[in-house]
Amino acid sequence: MTPACVADFRESARRRLPKVLFDYIDGGSYGEVTLAANVADVAALTLRQRVLRDVSTLSMTTEVFGQKLSMPVVLAPVGLAGMYARRGEAQAARAAKAAGVPFSLSTVSVCPIAEVAAAAEPPWFQLYMIKDRGFMTELLATARGAGCPVLLFTVDLPVPGARYRDARNGLNAATPGARVRQAIDGVAHPDWFWDVLVNGRPNSLGNISAASTDLGTLQEYMGWIGRNFDPSVTWRDIDWVRERWPGPLVLKGVLDPEDARDALRCGVDGLVVSNHGGRQLDGAPSSIAALPAIVEAVGDELTVLMDGGVRSGLDVLKALALGAKACLIGRAWAYALGGGGEAGVAGMLAIMRQELRLAMSLTGCLDVRDAGPALLTS
Ligand SMILES: Cc1cc2nc3c(=O)[nH]c(=O)nc-3n(C[C@H](O)[C@H](O)[C@H](O)COP(=O)(O)O)c2cc1C
């Protein structure tokens, strides 16, 4: 099958990856209510069809944090991507660079910052608050030294969310039964096994070499997160990060206008309106529902981005219409990487660009920077 849309890449990832990994990407917290709402609420927005407006020349380029984007899309930080395809973060970063959009590297990536920077270009770096501040200081210095242009500081994960699928797959508790099931599952996916487990080594957390564990056991990875993420993080810690990061600092995971105003007071440069792709607080509003009030509160002073439920170029245009300057995409690229490696991510981005072009043409939007509420009905 030639993938025609993100749903097709999802299906190819489902076939190629062991179930424990596919469910890790695909799933959300608890009943997956917020995950579903992210997608459904974007889908429910209706675009205004406009006609006879000379759409022969369209501009999809935009600029965020001093960086030019060929379209208003950024690859979101996704942990463990090097387990979906061999050296997965490097592959996806190459595809992103070729497409002219930024790639964000997760703290908990397989490839370290230097490997991704060498394979493509310095990525946006995503940081979690980790208890060991000395280690965080080193990590920030490494990201700065590598030339990472933007720091995404993720604030919606003081504690890891809980996902039924991961629990059922034995991701959280290393029972002997779960390990045997995962081993059988791995062997039953020989393409993936050969690509990642045999040829993708080392399968460790590249940025966390001191604490790195063998990701042959995914439970050890989950355990490391549980032990090392800092639940005591507060607004004061933003000042701490700010002192160590002179470049653009972006808080990722803000869903409430009051938090957005606090972020503005803290002197950050931007926000990602996000609920971590429905992986943290189940029952929280969808990102697209939360977006307008945050744009209203701080949109004049801060660069507001959004993620959650963006699966097509049409979805990108809807988010821009509600005030986002660009969208981050998470699962869309994770599925494409898992299903088809670098070529998959490149193909997915080409499809998204084409969808955005068509959506702009049929709504009469000539320039993404002019997108606004008038693109939507009511
Ligand atoms: C498999 C997976 C792993 C993720 N890992 C991280 C991470 O390490 N750091 C982070 O800030 N966000 C992480 N996220 C959240 C994404 O950055 C993003 O907020 C979310 O995927 C957006 O929703 P979408 O998947 O509907 O596009 C992860 C998301 C997924 C699906």
Q: Considering the domain boundaries, does residue 1 fall inside one?
A: no
Q: Considering the domain boundaries, does residue 373 fall inside one?
A: no
Whole-number Å distance, alpha carbon 342 to ligand 1 midpoint, is 18
pLDDT for 233 equals 94
Tokens coding 105: 């590297």
pLDDT for 141 equals 97
Q: How confident is the model at residue 223 (pLDDT cuts 50, 70, 90)?
A: confident
Q: Considering the domain boundaries, does residue 168 fall inside one?
A: yes
Q: What is the DSSP letter of 195?
A: I
Residue with token string 């604490």: 211
The predicted-structure confidence for 238-260, as pLDDT tens digits, reads as follows: 999 999 999 999 999 999 999 99
Domains: count for the chain:
1
Whole-number Å distance, alpha carbon 57 to ligand 1 midpoint, is 34
pLDDT for 176 equals 84
Determine the average pLDDT of the residues in 351-357: 98
Q: If you average pLDDT over every residue of the chain, what do you get?
A: 95
The arrangement of strands across the sheet holding 151-154 comes to: 73-75, 327-329, 303-307, 270-273, 249-254, 151-154, 124-127, 104-105
Helix axes 257-265 and 287-298, enclosed angle (nearest 10): 40
Q: Considering the domain boundaries, does residue 69 fall inside one?
A: yes
Q: Considering the domain boundaries, does residue 377 fall inside one?
A: no
- Per-residue three-class SS string for 294-348: HHHHHCCCCEEEEECCCCCHHHHHHHHHCCCCCEEECHHHHHHHHHHHHHHHHHH
If one residue of 75, 78, 280 were mutated to test the ligand 1 pocket, choosing by the most ligand atoms within 8 A of its CB, it would be 78
Determine the average pLDDT of the residues in 79-103: 98
Cβ 337 vs Cβ 345: under 8 Å: yes
pLDDT for 211 equals 56
38 in contact with ligand 1, CB cutoff 6 A: yes
**CATH code of 71's domain:** 3.20.20.70
Q: Considering the domain boundaries, does residue 151 fall inside one?
A: yes
Closest Cα to atom 14, ligand 1: which residue? 78
Whole-number Å distance, alpha carbon 80 to ligand 1 midpoint, is 10
The pTM of the whole model exceeds 0.85: yes
Q: Considering the domain boundaries, does residue 236 fall inside one?
A: yes
The amino acid present at 299, given as its one-letter code, is G
CB atoms < 10 A from the CB of 52, how many?
6
10 in contact with ligand 1, CB cutoff 6 A: no
pLDDT for 216 equals 52
For CA atoms 45, 154, 231, 115, give the dihedral sign. Answer: positive
Determine the average pLDDT of the residues in 348-374: 98
Domain span including residue 19: 6-368
Q: Considering the domain boundaries, does residue 378 fall inside one?
A: no
Atom of ligand 1 nearest to the CA of 274: 19
Cβ 330 vs Cβ 277: under 8 Å: yes
The predicted-structure confidence for 276-306, as pLDDT tens digits, reads as follows: 999 999 999 999 999 999 999 999 999 999 9
Identify the H or E element spanning 9.
helix 6-16
- The Cα–Cα gap between 26 and 353 comes to 23
- The Cα–Cα gap between 356 and 350 comes to 10
28 in contact with ligand 1, CB cutoff 6 A: no
pLDDT for 173 equals 72
Determine the average pLDDT of the residues in 156-160: 93
170 in contact with ligand 1, CB cutoff 6 A: no
